[in-house]
Amino acid sequence: MGQKQEAFIREFCDAWGDGSSERKPDVEKIISMMSEDAVWQLWIPGGPVVRGRAALREEIHRQMSFATNNKCNIVNMLSNDHMVMTERADLAIINGRNCPHSMVAVYELDDDGLIKAWREYLDMDDLNKKMGVAA
């Protein structure tokens, strides 16, 4: 069950980059894989919520101003027809610092197979330490 949905999410994660400095996130591809009214909760608990394609595009470009060398590494995945959950061990350079981080991402898909909700669960205290930012 969910093989098509899992392949879609693998493609979505791949659109963020391959870990090199040359391959940037493919913003238009990422946005095209999300519904018009998609919601992205950047981190749980307490992270901001981004709604709609225009705001999503703006947020991705904002992140690209300080985060490079992105690579989403899926460790485990499970799915059904309308939801995909991934355990990931992602890589990024944020503000010039190497910031590997673990997370769980949950993607809810609409009837057309597009992402309508995306939630990321991660330890921001750990990531802030790697970024050299006070919590």
Q: Quick check: is 53 in a domain?
A: yes
Q: Could you tell me the CATH number of the domain that includes residue 37? A: 3.10.450.50
Q: How confident is the model at residue 122 (pLDDT cuts 50, 70, 90)?
A: confident
In a domain, 93, yes or no: yes
Q: Evaluate if residue 82 carries a pLDDT over 90.
A: yes
Question: What is the SS3 assignment for the chain?
Answer: CCHHHHHHHHHHHHCCCCCCCCCCCCHHHHHHCEEEEEEEEEEECCCCEEECHHHHHHHHHHHHCCEEEEECCEEEEEECCCEEEEEEEEEEEECCEECCEEEEEEEEECCCCCEEEEEEEECHHHHHHHHCCCC
Q: Structural domain tally of the chain?
A: 1
pLDDT number for residue 88: 95
Residue 132 lies in a domain: no
Domain extent at residue 15: 3-123
